[in-house]
A = this chain, B = another copy of it.
Amino acid sequence: MDDACTINLTVRYLTKKWMLLIILELYKGDDHTRRFSDLRDSLDGITPKVLSERLKELEDEGILTRKVDATAFPIKAEYTLTASGLEIVEVIRGIKRWALKWKIENIPCGKQDCGVCVL
């Protein structure tokens, strides 16, 4: 089973839809932190179900930590990138560099102010 391979195990979840975008949103946040509704609003088109699933997977993988303040009302939940999560951003940068080098016709993200994947 090729699934036992580190690379594939990793790629499997890192490449699910929205995954990288969520990591980037967290990265862009103050202290690399963001709230649930904040993420939902930033990621145009994502549904709460999928966002919730992804956040749980990322937490399971140790890429982010979740802190809930249940005493507050309304409830406040914060998601923060861990050290390993911050390092994944480097991998994403690598992908972006590759893409910009070989797919230059793809203008949008060449801009420093690309709202989607600023790196």
- Distance between Cα atoms of A9 and B84 in the complex (Å): 24
Tell me which of B15, B62, B88 contacts A11 (CB under 8 A).
B15
Interface residues of A in 62-119 (CB under 8 A from B): 62, 84, 87-88, 90-92, 94-96, 98-103, 106, 108-110, 114, 116-117
Q: Which residues of B contact A98 (CB under 8 A)?
A: 10, 84, 87-88, 90-91
- Distance between Cα atoms of A109 and B5 in the complex (Å): 6
How would you classify the secondary structure of chain A's contact residues: helix, strand, loop or mixed?
A: helix
Q: Are B117 and A102 in contact (CB under 8 A)?
A: no
Q: Is A52 an interface residue, CB under 8 A from the partner?
A: no
Q: Are B45 and A117 in contact (CB under 8 A)?
A: no
Q: Are A6 and B62 in contact (CB under 8 A)?
A: no
Tell me which of B62, B88, B95 contacts A7 (CB under 8 A).
B95
- Distance between Cα atoms of A106 and B4 in the complex (Å): 8
Given A91-B98, A95-B91, are A20 and B11 also a contact pair (CB < 8 Å)?
A: yes
Given A7-B92, A92-B7, are A87 and B108 also a contact pair (CB < 8 Å)?
A: no
Report the 3 A-B pairs with minimum CB-CB distance, sorted nearest first: A15-B15, A6-B109, A84-B102
